[in-house]
Chain A
Amino acid sequence: MELLKELVKNGDAGETAGRVRELLTGGTDPEVIMKEALIPAMDEVGDQFQAGEAFVPEMLIAARAMQSGLDVLKPALAESGIEPLGKVIVGTVRGDLHDIGKNLVVMVLEGAGFEVVDLGIDVSPDQFVEAIKEHSPQIVGLSALLTTTMLAMRDTIDAVKEAGLRGQVKIMVGGAPLRQEYADEIGADFYGSDSTAARNYAKEAV
């Protein structure tokens, strides 16, 4: 398991998948692989990122390795009846095409064991509403990089309220120009300054 953790942390996607296969073939419980290797490895990289010891490329390659391991593991997890921690939909709000921050949140949440529906970039309030109806997530994550586009977060939250869905979901927001005051003002449940904060909140919220 320690070797698998190291492979994920080092971002070695090919070897990670191979090691997961080996462990499964050797009879290791898929849930143990998930909880004792893949999730702790990504948690560790996320913590290093938050501490300024790892940077975006290191997060990306670790997440990719984690994903390659998950791809091998998912059928075994399904067979064992293991459920994800919860479901989250994430998107960059209308008018904003920036995706690095949003992608990091997606990767870290998947790495923590959540099922994540990535709506992509330039997502309108209506698209968020439709996605909530379709996927019934517990949490919705909104991302924006610009002071001009973060205003669409308010529109999105208002649209969720108008659709009568606000009570069903927690809404977390993040992005470079945001601050707690703005999140409070628009009625978000949580503001996270980075992907690790988003992960920690999501774990508490479900």
Chain B
Amino acid sequence: MDIWKDQSEEARKERWKALWAMQDLPRPLWFIPASPVLAVSLDYFRKKRSVTALFMDRDVQLNESMKFNRFFERVQPLWSRDDFVLHLQPQMGVGVFASAFGCEIKFPWNQMPWSRPVIEAGEPAEKVYELQPPQVRSGLLGDILDFAEYFDRKAGGKYPIAMTDLQGPMDTAYLVWDSCDFMVAMYDHPREVHHLMRLCTDLVIDFVKEFRKRVREMVPAHFPPVYLPDGLGITVSEDALAVLSRPLYEEFSLPYLNELSEEFGGIIIHSCGNFEHQLPALQKVRGLRGINFGVSETRFEAVWEALGGRTAVIPHCSSEMVVEDFKTPFEWVEHALKAKTHNKGLALMVAPMVGDIYAAGRKKASRGKAMNDMIELLMFGRKMRKLIERYS
């Protein structure tokens, strides 16, 4: 049986639907995280080229995204044959929801956008009551909605439109209120923390509903860049998982995640850092559709044992990660494939950095180094497929 046979976009989408339905597929899914703006920005960083217009100008963002997608469409069937589903995504960094509360957002030439809190270190917790409940077009959110609509119109519906960088309520609260003071407030001012969490949660719900109205096909996933049909949930970044104790997490984040999950039909959580201590708390998230993590920090086995078979498990391993005991991503992938007990819900996000692929793919083929890079990348896809075949 050729488990790589059908490489059409429709077939890839069907495989993702089967994954979300927790079917035991003939093989795990694997995909390269090829969200266009993020991939292009990595290429820009390497060339020391300004990323400001890429994030702020809708035409630059659209043109660069389309160019990247055309590139990836050409190479995907050749070298990776992975399960990534191409999309367009309006992208202005992690602070767009925080901007709706009045946070200043900076667009530096050589970095991802960043934000400054509106409640600064040392200011009274009661300042949360002065925050105006944000609207769906507050701050940069209006631009994001316009970008989404524009991208969809200009691309003629060729690609689904993925959600912008959706930091969960807790991550956004960390940006709105000085992060250290916010954590101390969990002990000293729990009511004020809950007040801000309420505002952040309401904003996410209202915004996602508005985003949905603006495009033909919304993929309510920003990271991991999976194919997630609307109605099966949303992804949220939830990096607070790693830095909070389980009781604090259960008190201040869990109720709001449950609310989002109930509103949108499920929830996929992304977190950096080691959050193994939170696995029991994650088991309490109602409608947990998936969990995404970096394998350099959280062990695959721990997540698989706690959640495997119940929810999608989406580990992330890249060439740039230093993973203890593993010299290459392939060694790690083999380790994970040996440890898995079935294919239900397993999707491996594995890649050389996609900016590298893009940069190599656009170099002149006559240059020896460029040829070597391209061959190496072709080998990457081949090696991944061989490994998956061996353990399927």
The interface of chain A, by Cβ under 8 A from chain B, is 11, 52, 54-58, 60-61, 64, 95, 97, 99-100, 103, 146-149, 176, 179, 181
Contact = CB atoms under 8 A, between A and B. Distances in A.
B60 to A, nearest CB: 20
B110 A95 contact: yes
Given A11-B187, A60-B184, A100 B243 contact: yes
Contacts of A100: 179-180, 243
Given A95-B110, A146-B111, A148-B45, A58 B245 contact: yes
B187 A61 contact: yes
A99 B45 contact: no
Given A52-B277, A54-B245, A57-B245, A148 B187 contact: no
Contacts of B108: 95
B342 interface: no
Interface in B174-210: 179-180, 183-184, 186-187
Contacts of A99: 179-180
Nearest to A149: B111
Interface string B288-325: 00000000000000000000000000000000101000
Contacts of B274: 52
Nearest to A181: B322
B114 interface: yes
A64 B184 contact: yes
Interface centre among A11, A60, A95, A146 (most CB of B within 10 A): A60
A100 B179 CA distance: 7
A97 B184 CA distance: 19
Given A99-B180, A100-B180, A57 B244 contact: yes
Interface of B: 45, 108, 110-112, 114, 116, 179-180, 183-184, 186-187, 243-245, 248, 272-274, 277, 320, 322
Given A146-B111, A148-B110, A149-B111, A55 B245 contact: yes
A76 B114 CA distance: 43
Contacts, number: 49
B184 A55 contact: no
Given A57-B243, A149-B111, A176-B273, 10 more contacts: A55-B243, A55-B248, A57-B245, A60-B180, A61-B187, A100-B179, A100-B180, A103-B180, A148-B45, A179-B322
A60 B245 CA distance: 13
Nearest to B244: A55
A179 B110 CA distance: 22
22 contacts: A55-B243, A55-B248, A56-B183, A57-B183, A57-B186, A57-B187, A57-B243, A60-B184, A61-B187, A95-B110, A95-B111, A97-B114, A97-B116, A99-B179, A99-B180, A100-B180, A103-B180, A146-B112, A147-B320, A148-B110, A176-B272, A176-B273
Nearest to A57: B183
Contacts of A61: 184, 187
A144 to B, nearest CB: 12
Contacts of A181: 322
A57 B111 contact: no
Interface centre among A11, A57, A147 (most CB of B within 10 A): A57
A107 B6 CA distance: 57
Contacts of B111: 95, 146, 148-149
Contact of B112 (A52, A60, A148): A148
B42 to A, nearest CB: 10
Contact of B244 (A56, A64, A149): A56
A196 B37 CA distance: 38
Which 8 residue pairs across A and B have the least CB separation, nearest first? A57-B183, A56-B243, A55-B245, A60-B184, A148-B111, A179-B322, A103-B180, A61-B187
B121 to A, nearest CB: 8
A56 B242 CA distance: 9
B165 to A, nearest CB: 15
B93 to A, nearest CB: 12
Contacts of B183: 56-57, 60
Nearest to B186: A57
A100 B240 CA distance: 12
Contacts of B180: 60, 99-100, 103
Contacts of A147: 320
B144 to A, nearest CB: 22
Nearest to A151: B110
Interface centre among B180, B183, B320 (most CB of A within 10 A): B180
B74 to A, nearest CB: 28
A155 to B, nearest CB: 13
A64 B187 CA distance: 12
Contacts of B110: 95, 148
